[in-house]
Amino acid sequence: PKPTRLEDYQPPEFLIDRAELRFDLDAVETLVSAALEIRRNPAAKRGDGSLRLDGEQLELLEIALDDRALPPVEYVVDERTLVVQRVPDRFQLRTRVRIHPAANTALEGLYISGDMLCTQCEAEGFRRMTYFLDRPDVMARFAVTLVADATRYPVLLSNGNPIDQETLPGGRHLARWEDPFPKPSYLFALVAGDLARIEDSFTTASGREVALHLYMEPRNRDKCGHAMRSLKAAMRWDEEHYGREYDLDLFMIVAVSHFNMGAMENKGLNVFNAKYVLASPETATDQDFAGIASVVAHEYFHNWTGNRITCRDWFQLSLKEGFTVFRDQEFSADQGGRDVQRIADVRALRARQFPEDAGPMAHPVRPSSYIEINNFYTTTVYEKGAELVRMQARLLGPERFRAATDLYFQRHDGQAVTTEDFVRCMEDASGLDLTQFRRWYEQAGTPVLECTADWEAGQGTYRLEVRQHTDPTPGQPEKSPRHMPLALGLIGTDGRELPVQLAGEPAPIGPGTRVLELREARQVFEFVGLSERPVPSLLRGFSAPVKLRFPYSDEELTRLMAADPDGVARWNAAQQLAERVLLAMVVTPDTPPPQAFIDAFAAALGDQEADPALLAEVLALPSESYLGDQMQAVDVDGIHRAREALMVQVATALRADLLERYHALHRFEPVTDQAAASTDREPDLSPAAMGRRALKNLCLGYLMRAPDDAVLALCQRQYATAATMTDRIAGLRGLIRLRDTDQAELAEQALTDFYQRWSQDALVLDKWFAIQAQASAPGTLGRVKQLLRHANFSIGNPNRVRSLIGAFAAGNPVCFHAADGGGYRLLAEQVARLDPLNPQLASRLLHPLTQWRRHDASRQALMRAELEGLRARDGISPDLFEVLGKCLD
Ligand code: B3K
Ligand code: ZN
């Protein structure tokens, strides 16, 4: 397979103004007829006069140009294209092809999910349904006719507006849809099935009524309320914050059980992984509820950032994804709590994007070459892309940023554009010069800010020196300094904020956060008028996606952890302190944690003023993989041992405090009578209640590290009487720690109970698989192998694959990295098995192995051997080929 390069971009030679499609739907064999109105693109260079359409796995049955059937000498078909020789400047092309949805295991194009038929076109799935110019800068008006068996597929959906329905002879029926908005083919969708529907409506700011339809398998109809409420909240939010109204009279969401990713923003017809739609307090955790709100909002926001304004080519993917992630993060911050949302975003960025940026798969937010575009739906394009928008928003300030997005929507509506067009709007609306800022889109790698400070007591002057550098990444040995906002505050001994006044400036109105701008490799800031040596609170709100180093003393970190008014900085101080303690314990096992750490922990645990949700973040230890990222070579076992040991020590030292806080928080929960399975009250799903449960279950997690009979009983009781899945799964997570101990039967009982309760609910069963795959108990690898043979395991269902294989490989470092290589072998075998079926998923699952260079020599050899083994296989997919090439060469 050959790479596609950004520098080779050429505008399309032909445009398609209108596409009339007819699908004669059937799971085994579907016929697709297309009538395309095509014309030469006046803005493009004239080629050899022939038309090249994309098409894969299509069986061409008929082809006609302006109603003249084409003889075989006038066109050429191969595996990937249909070339029609010498076409006029404007013409109609009609084709008819045969496709096989039931045989489509890649879940790209038209495929079956359970009993329904559905599509996934982004990025290049449309070409698996008909011959087309399958690229985002070709935008056509679509008119679609769907014909299917009326009993099996009573519901027939496509983009835009329903035009017409007819009953046909032979038990079939037909539906016509028209989308008035021109769109690229990747936004096309159709769904056919026996689906239930819940309805609501939304009145836009300008007073238009929009019908909202949510479709699902009938047994799930009572689990869609939260998704619907989230949708309406997102619609209002987009009007209020960006002035964006919805533009059709109907907005539809369909929940499907077989889906490669989270969801898809097809125009007017979003198709969702059921995981991001279905929820009830008994079946979904608080995290699931938050995930649903954010994905529903994300896909809805794409209607403007993605659909109305789309990408010129796939290198521009972050234009829509980075901006839309930024928008959904801000939405979630407004719904649930700003600090906690930001902390979750930063945690995710550090857990996934920083390692990507530091490894063989590193690429810029706007990549310059790819073999398989599906490999570039990455955390760099998405989450780092969102950070780039966030930094621009911060540099502009709220008013100018709003003016800039207004300009963007006005200037580019209906167009397929680039990240450059986006940045230009930021500049044009603000007058700022973002020339240097553009490097963020082009340079891969995470910048490191090395900060030092000195204090001149006599003058009350505090000098902060900031140096930035970025390590080389594949293909980019040299990096230039970047332009970024650095938000900071200064904290005094009593924990209060001090004024932040730069030399030569008038005294500020009051203390608080200041945003400084970095541009140079080295910069010095001089703060004056200070009565004492401050502790700098740096990178508040995580104002730039960088690694910041400052030589804090433990005492200074403790002060920030207790008092920083910026929640993100407070959390970050706690993380740094814990990281320090833990890394010391890795080097010297059996060192007790410093008393100062236990005291700081106890103080935070007892803080009755702070938001419990924030405390739950502050008191959670850094993850094993994050700790690994901080080491030269990851000491998988040492880290696991140290982290567990510290949790035991905290649990032992602070048993009473943990229990007290646990009980105080648990009192809020409704109680379920186990026998009657009835609850005295409805569970509370407010952000405050979710925060209380988070802190409570954090306490339980610590307590279960050193469980005596009382703690065990408490955990069992929580498991058995929980009114929410959040509490039940937290109980189960505690009990499963007993596996492979002499109290193992408590774990087994709970797991069996859980299975029996939920074996009919696929999404809950995914949790049952995942929680076992993530257990650090020594027998886990063997159990994962058994679970692969479990009647409820299915290699054809991506959610199930992720919940077992993905959860094990990406979420269980100590077992996955078992010294004998058994974990690596398991992953490689499953990737090999999956690749011919679903290459996109296979290539994603492989990722933990791509980080092989981070490990000790013996693990490196084992990991490499598995990767080489995969590469030596015949007929691996381009997806896998690209990832293997990058991490092995
Ligand atoms: N745009 C889709 C992702 C498509 C992935 C294709 N491999 C979902 C989203 O980002 O909203
Ligand atoms: Zn998206």
- Give per-residue pLDDT as tens, 318-331: 999 999 999 999 99
Nearest-angstrom CA–CA distance, 435 and 77: 45
Ligand 1 close to Cβ of residue 298 (< 6 A): yes
What is the structure's pLDDT at 220? 97
- For 239, the enclosing helix (H) or strand (E) is helix 225-242
What is the structure's pLDDT at 679? 75
What is the structure's pLDDT at 672? 76
Question: Residue 384: helix, strand or coil by DSSP?
Answer: helix
| Percent of the chain surpassing pLDDT 70 | 100
Nearest-angstrom CA–CA distance, 422 and 440: 13
Ligand 1 close to Cβ of residue 147 (< 6 A): no
How close is the Cα of 122 to the center of ligand 1, in Å?
Answer: 6
pLDDT in tens, 206-254: 999 999 999 999 999 999 999 999 999 999 999 999 999 999 999 999 9
Question: Residue 15: helix, strand or coil by DSSP?
Answer: strand
Ligand 1 close to Cβ of residue 374 (< 6 A): yes
- Name the residue at shortest CA distance from atom 1 of ligand 1: 264
Q: Report the nearest atom of ligand 1 relative to the CA of 299.
A: 11
Nearest-angstrom CA–CA distance, 875 and 305: 37
Identified catalytic residue from 124, 217, 265, 299: 299
Q: Report the nearest atom of ligand 1 relative to the CA of 321.
A: 10
The band of 167, judged by pLDDT with boundaries at 50, 70 and 90, is: very high
Identify the CA nearest to 366 among candidates 9, 750, 763: 9
- The conformation of residue 433, written as its DSSP 8-state character, comes to -
The band of 799, judged by pLDDT with boundaries at 50, 70 and 90, is: very high
- Rg (C-alpha) for the chain, rounded Å, is 28
Peptide bond into 123 cis (omega under 30): yes
Best probe residue, ligand 1, of 107, 128, 265 (max atoms within 8 Å of C-beta) = 265
Which residue is listed with tokens 């990747």? 186
pLDDT in tens, 337-354: 999 999 999 999 999 999
Nearest-angstrom CA–CA distance, 489 and 511: 8
DSSP β-bridge partners for residue 198: 214
Amino acid at 257: S
Q: What is the mean pLDDT of residues 462-485?
A: 98
pLDDT in tens, 690-734: 999 999 999 999 999 999 999 999 999 999 999 999 999 999 999
Cα 815 to its chain centre, rounded Å, is: 25
DSSP β-bridge partners for residue 39: 15, 90
Nearest-angstrom CA–CA distance, 329 and 298: 9
How close is the Cα of 873 to the center of ligand 2, in Å?
Answer: 33
Best probe residue, ligand 1, of 122, 275, 310, 879 (max atoms within 8 Å of C-beta) = 122
- The conformation of residue 426, written as its DSSP 8-state character, comes to H
pLDDT at 680 over 80: no
Q: What is the mean pLDDT of residues 436-465?
A: 98
DSSP β-bridge partners for residue 537: 489
Ligand 1 close to Cβ of residue 793 (< 6 A): no
Nearest-angstrom CA–CA distance, 47 and 54: 17
Reported as half-sphere exposure (CB side, CA atoms, 13 A), residue 327 has a value of: 32
What is the structure's pLDDT at 590? 87
Ligand 1 close to Cβ of residue 122 (< 6 A): yes
Q: What does the DSSP assignment read for 506-565?
A: PPPSSSS-EEEEE-SSEEEEEE-S-SSPPEEEESGGG-SSSEEE----HHHHHHHHHH-S
- Name the residue at shortest CA distance from atom 4 of ligand 1: 122
Q: At what angle do helices 687-703 and 636-653 cross, to 10 degrees?
A: 100
- Name the residue at shortest CA distance from atom 7 of ligand 1: 374
CATH 3.30.2350.10 fits domain 1-190: no
pLDDT at 676 over 70: no
Taking each continuous run of H as one helix and of E as one strand, the counts in the chain are: 31, 34
Best probe residue, ligand 1, of 264, 317, 328, 840 (max atoms within 8 Å of C-beta) = 264
Cα 181 to its chain centre, rounded Å, is: 28
* Average pLDDT along the chain: 97
Q: Where are the beta strands (DSSP E) in 133-222?
A: 139-149, 155-158, 161-167, 172-184, 190-193, 196-203, 209-216
Would the CA dihedral through 550, 555, 556, 560 be positive or negative?
Answer: positive
| Percent of the chain surpassing pLDDT 90 | 97
Kindly report the backbone phi and psi dihedral angles of residue 197, in degrees, each rounded to the nearest multiple of 5, phi listed first.
-140, 135
Amino acid at 314: W
The band of 836, judged by pLDDT with boundaries at 50, 70 and 90, is: very high
CATH 1.10.390.10 fits domain 310-545: yes
Nearest-angstrom CA–CA distance, 822 and 634: 18
CB 697 within 8 A of CB 726: yes
How close is the Cα of 263 to the center of ligand 2, in Å?
Answer: 8
- For 272, the enclosing helix (H) or strand (E) is strand 269-273
Q: Report the nearest atom of ligand 1 relative to the CA of 123.
A: 6
Ligand 1 close to Cβ of residue 265 (< 6 A): yes
pLDDT in tens, 549-562: 999 999 999 999 99
The band of 681, judged by pLDDT with boundaries at 50, 70 and 90, is: confident
Q: Which ligand is nearest to the CA of 264?
A: 1
Q: Which ligand is nearest to the CA of 122?
A: 1
How close is the Cα of 714 to the center of ligand 1, in Å?
Answer: 42
Q: Report the nearest atom of ligand 1 relative to the CA of 122.
A: 6
What is the structure's pLDDT at 674? 65
Reported as half-sphere exposure (CB side, CA atoms, 13 A), residue 375 has a value of: 26
pLDDT at 486 over 80: yes
How close is the Cα of 264 to the center of ligand 2, in Å?
Answer: 7
How close is the Cα of 374 to the center of ligand 2, in Å?
Answer: 13
Q: Report the nearest atom of ligand 1 relative to the CA of 262.
A: 8
Best probe residue, ligand 1, of 118, 275, 319, 321 (max atoms within 8 Å of C-beta) = 321
Ligand 1 close to Cβ of residue 299 (< 6 A): yes
- The conformation of residue 500, written as its DSSP 8-state character, comes to -
Q: What is the mean pLDDT of residues 123-134?
A: 99
Q: What is the mean pLDDT of residues 305-319?
A: 98
| CB-based burial, 229-246: b 16+ in 10 Å, e otherwise | ebbbbbbebbbeebebbb
ipTM of the complex: 0.99
Q: What is the mean pLDDT of residues 453-482?
A: 97
- The yes-or-no answer on residue 299 being catalytic is yes
pLDDT at 673 over 80: no
pLDDT in tens, 15-34: 999 999 999 999 999 999 99
How close is the Cα of 266 to the center of ligand 2, in Å?
Answer: 11
How close is the Cα of 325 to the center of ligand 2, in Å?
Answer: 7
Which residue is listed with tokens 């109204």? 245
CATH 1.25.50.10 fits domain 759-889: yes
Kindly report the backbone phi and psi dihedral angles of residue 352, in degrees, each rounded to the nearest multiple of 5, phi listed first.
-120, -45
- For 651, the enclosing helix (H) or strand (E) is helix 636-653
Q: Which CATH architecture does the domain made up of 195-308 adopt?
A: 2-Layer Sandwich (3.30)
pLDDT in tens, 67-84: 999 999 999 999 999 999
Q: Please state the domain extents for the chain.
A: 1-190, 195-308, 310-545, 759-889
Burial class (CB in 10 A: 0-12, 13-18, 19+), 531: exposed
